[in-house]
Amino acid sequence: MLSILQAAGWPIWPLVMCSIVALALIIERFLFLRSKRINPVKLLDEAMSISRPNLPSSETIKHMESSSILGGVLASGLRSLLAQPRPNPEGLRSAMEVAGRHATQQLEKYLSALATIASVAPLLGLLGTVIGMIEIFGSQTGSGASGTNPAMLAHGISVALYNTAFGLMVAIPSLIFWRYFRAKVDELELTLEQAAERFYQHLKVHCRPE
């Protein structure tokens, strides 16, 4: 592997860094976007149960908030009701919408970075290809075969081909995983939105008109 990196020349190192970052982001998103960390089974039913007919304690709400992403959204509604002497539906919805936007930001975290790597990696590979072509032309020190430097010619070809291949090897998996995570996040956001709307309708009974 080290010999390949040496043959590819210095343009390969930005691609190596991109591959390391992309791998780290993919692993992090796989671990974060697990169902039990986003939308645990029966959490919504439990939240509706403990808030009927009276609101739960602050400790219970804090525990719910730290349990998952959905728990944070549901807890925001309960906190809004506890904080307002005369709660109203508009304030309740506003608090849950703010928490929903924060949840969306957490779900989409690092996806733009992964998409950037998928877009930049082929360009970095192309840069290495151009540098390799420059070295190839630089090996032509004279006219005819007698003016060709075989070592420089071979090195230029290696730089061009290795960088092109490595750029695609980084870009293709990054793009595939970005599309996978994008679809998964869209599905999770829809699930959270539906759960939050159900919980909002449930909590409206605690609101009193001004």
The string of pLDDT tens digits covering residues 37-82 is 898 889 999 999 988 878 888 899 999 999 899 999 999 999 998 8
What gap in Å lies between CA 101 and CA 170, rounded to an integer? 31
Poorest-pLDDT segment among 51-55, 64-68, 141-145, 184-188? 141-145
What value does the CA radius of gyration of the chain take, rounded to a whole number of Å?
27
Instruction: Provide the residue range defining the domain that includes 137.
Output: 2-206
What gap in Å lies between CA 157 and CA 136, rounded to an integer? 7
Give the global pTM: 0.82
Give the DSSP letter string of 66-106.
HH-HHHHHHHHHHHHHHH-SS--HHHHHHHHHHHHHHHHHH
> What's the whole-number mean pLDDT along residues 14-39?
92
**Core vs surface per residue 164-184: b (16+ CB within 10 A) or e:** bbbbeebbebbbebbeebeee
* 42-51, 73-82, 83-92, 174-183: which is most confident: 174-183
DSSP state of 151: H
Vertex 150, ends 146 and 152: CA angle to 5°?
Answer: 120
Domains of the chain: total: 1
Sign of CA dihedral 82, 86, 88, 94: negative
Phi, psi of 168 (to 5 degrees): -70, -35
